[in-house]
Structure 1
């Protein structure tokens, strides 16, 4: 893509390491600094609605949502104005930060942006036994762990497929996680909008609130931080959906899909030209195989703890 309209470069475009799905570069020019994202279109887990997401981003930015200014959306490339900020540590966020995230969600859910009719939700893949066999045959370092977790992964897929969603469905970011956030003077900046689309409200609130309330595992969960996200949502005019398992079904389904996607990338044995590095995919698989079963087994306890707060 021709990026000359962004100004005269003041140095080479440099890669920013660590992207879980796409590849990011920083371009500094005489007109400012820009984040140039190369989209992984080779093996995406779902269709990316480039133009629709860009319109949603523009509406959110115009509404004052703290985020990088969207500049351009092409077939393979996204451009945003660069925003400096601190990455979030793998730890519960401050309650004030969580409260503000809840308010941002409420603001997003009121935006009047046209969106294509959502396709019928596909069933969660259940090919875990086959994947375990392939991992063993190809000598993957996590093959034994995958084989031991097959039955639990199948149970998780059944849970996601059969869990009732009370609604309503909202147009939203769908991926507000610590790695998609910055802290700028203690306040949030929301990044990486590529997964935006329609989602059951309970799934969005549960995924966001739990991700911000815990550390890398489940041994340090702060119910007060979880509640702060919901309090911020209500304070900004949002209405909470009924409490239940559906609050966590989207999170579990999404992480199942993400783990499976990285397993497939690792099984190829070749680092693709787009998307995460092969080493990062191996790390994501290991994290998924350890964290997901623990989350699922402790789900009743987790619901009780958070609901009683």
Structure 2
């Protein structure tokens, strides 16, 4: 990758741990510090719209959204100004932090940025029995757990396909989760905009509010934190859609697709040059096989948070 426009390096580019889809590096030069992201273009779940995402990021940054400054977007490489901050743990965040995230979403949704509409996505895959059989044949460590939950995964796929989305559809970040946030002096910074696009508003709000209000499982949800995200959204000028299961279908569907994508990577059994490490894919599958059925089983409980 040609990074000469970033200045003369003052040290080697350093791999940053993590990355559920791509690979991240830090580069220090005589012009500052930069986050260099190597995009996985080999087996993405959907095409990456680099130019439109970069234009959206530039508009959000210019509007004062707290985020790393977008520097450049080339084929397979994104560059942002490096931002120092504390990682957000997978635990209920302070209510004030959640409120500000809600306000940020309202500001993002108010941006006037052109975006090319895409065709309606294909129906959710229903090949879970086949995946379970292949997992058993290849000796995957989670094969037995997946086989015992095939019917549940088929039910989840049906729910994602048929659940009504109340609208409206907005142009948004699409993945405001703890792992895509930093805390800088206690206030949020929004990272990783690659999944930006058009999304049902309730799905964006439900996914964000639930993720910020819970810990690693679903036993320590803080309703006040959940409500703080929504209160912040209203305070920022946004209007809430009507309550219903559609608030959580995007979160469930996203996790379902992410789990299936990582299953396919594990079944291939080979380390690829881009995207997550094979060990991280194995971890993601284990989390999905165990966590998705629990998430789906507690849907009515989550809907109660909207009352």
Q: Deviations over 1:264-307 (max 9, x none)?
A: 00001111110001101000000011111001011112212x13
Measure the CA separation in 2 of the matches of 1:215 and 1:277. 24
Measure the CA separation in 2 of the matches of 1:152 and 1:251. 16
Q: Deviations over 1:119-174 (max 9, x none)?
A: 11221111100000000000000000110111001000100110111110000000
Measure the CA separation in 2 of the matches of 1:301 and 1:226. 13
Name the counterpart of 1:117: 117
Measure the CA separation in 1 of the matches of 2:108 and 2:301. 31
Q: Residue 101 in 1 paired to residue 101 in 2?
A: yes
Report deviation, 1:239.
Answer: 0.2
Tell me the TM-score normalised to structure 1 length: 0.98
Measure the CA separation in 2 of the matches of 1:76 and 1:295. 34
Q: Secondary structure at 2:271's aligned position in 1?
A: coil
Measure the CA separation in 2 of the matches of 1:44 and 1:175. 16
Name the counterpart of 2:44: 44
Measure the CA separation in 1 of the matches of 2:90 and 2:164. 31
Report deviation, 1:75.
Answer: 1.1
Q: Which runs of 4+ in 1 moved over 3 A?
A: none
Name the counterpart of 1:34: 34
Measure the CA separation in 2 of the matches of 1:5 and 1:39. 19
Report deviation, 1:90.
Answer: 1.4
Name the counterpart of 1:126: 126
Tell me the TM-score normalised to structure 2 length: 0.99
Name the counterpart of 2:151: 151
Q: Secondary structure at 1:73's aligned position in 2?
A: strand
Q: Secondary structure at 1:307's aligned position in 2?
A: coil
Q: Residue 16 in 1 paired to residue 16 in 2?
A: yes
Q: Residue 185 in 1 paired to residue 185 in 2?
A: yes
Q: Residue 295 in 1 paired to residue 295 in 2?
A: yes
User: Aligned Cα RMSD in Å?
Assistant: 0.6
Q: Deviations over 1:156-195 (max 9, x none)?
A: 0100110111110000000000000000000000000000
Name the counterpart of 2:306: 307
Q: Deviations over 1:39-69 (max 9, x none)?
A: 0000000111000000000000000000000
Give ranges in structure 2 of 5+ residues lacking alignment.
none
Measure the CA separation in 1 of the matches of 2:275 and 2:157. 25
Name the counterpart of 2:174: 174
Write the mapping of 1:240-259 to structure 2, written as runs, cut at 5 A: 240-259=240-259
Measure the CA separation in 2 of the matches of 1:302 and 1:13. 43
Name the counterpart of 1:278: 278
Measure the CA separation in 2 of the matches of 1:163 and 1:302. 15
Measure the CA separation in 2 of the matches of 1:156 and 1:5. 47
Measure the CA separation in 1 of the matches of 2:212 and 2:154. 27
Report deviation, 1:89.
Answer: 1.0
Measure the CA separation in 2 of the matches of 1:118 and 1:184. 35
Measure the CA separation in 2 of the matches of 1:247 and 1:302. 9
Give ranges in structure 1 of 5+ residues lacking alignment.
none
Q: Secondary structure at 1:34's aligned position in 2?
A: strand
Name the counterpart of 2:68: 68
Q: Secondary structure at 2:15's aligned position in 1?
A: strand
Measure the CA separation in 1 of the matches of 2:39 and 2:151. 34
